[in-house]
């Protein structure tokens, strides 16, 4: 099981954002939220590693495409675990939480790839380490001014980097 790096706490001194605040409240109200997210992350790692079949048990042994698959698994398994619908039209982000579109982004390190459709939208940003069995998550609005200057350009892959 992966465990949370700290307990969830609502933001205290951020600019007013009623949608973000509603999504943060929803997360903080989830029963056993940290344990459930940790279990989802563990399952995502295990499903992609598939140790019994592949003989690989370490995240570092995954190819880059498989590491991308971990993020996709995290999104799918969180949606199932928390019974979340897909985000509302027109952008159709990964989740709808309290009727608000939220994109799910996972990383093993300290940066997230933010797709064009998620700029100025809420993102559930998850960082997890299989090696340390720790994770953290946060809700933020991915405005262009939060992106690092060298990463503000939109790449051929349709995204911008945050971090």
Total Cβ atoms within 10 A of residue 140: 19
- The listed CATH number (3.40.600.10, 3.10.105.10, 1.10.3720.10, 3.30.470.10) that belongs to domain 17-150: 3.40.600.10
Q: Rounded to an integer, what distance in angstroms lies between the CA atom of residue 49 and that of residue 143?
A: 34
pTM: 0.80
Contact 122/98 with Cβ under 8 angstroms? no
Locate 44 and state its tokens: 């995502």
Q: Where are the domains of the chain?
A: 17-150
Q: What is the pLDDT of residues 4-38, one digit of tens each?
A: 555 555 555 667 899 999 999 999 999 999 999 99
Kind of pairing, strands 100-107 and 159-162?
A: unpaired
Ordered per-residue pLDDT tens for the chain, 163 residues: 555 555 555 555 667 899 999 999 999 999 999 999 999 999 999 999 999 999 999 999 999 899 989 999 999 999 999 999 998 877 789 999 999 999 999 998 878 888 777 888 999 999 999 889 999 999 988 887 766 654 444 444 444 444 4
């Amino acid at each position: 099981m992966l465990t949370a790096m700290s307990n969830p706490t609502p933001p205290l001194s951020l600019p007013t954002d009623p949608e973000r605040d509603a999504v943060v409240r929803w997360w903080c109200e989830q029963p056993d939220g940290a344990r459930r997210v940790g279990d989802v992350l563990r399952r995502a790692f295990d499903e992609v590693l598939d140790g019994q079949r592949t003989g690989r048990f370490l995240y570092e042994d995954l190819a880059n495409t498989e590491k991308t698959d971990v993020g996709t698994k995290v999104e799918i398994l969180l949606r199932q675990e928390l019974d979340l619908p897909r985000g509302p039209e027109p952008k159709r982000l990964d989740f709808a939480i309290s009727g608000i579109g939220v994109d799910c982004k996972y990383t093993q390190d300290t940066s997230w790839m933010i797709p064009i459709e998620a700029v100025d939208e809420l993102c559930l940003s998850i960082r997890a380490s299989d090696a340390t069995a720790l994770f953290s998550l946060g809700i933020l609005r991915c405005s262009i001014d939060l992106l690092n200057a060298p990463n503000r350009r939109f790449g051929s892959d349709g995204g911008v980097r945050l971090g």
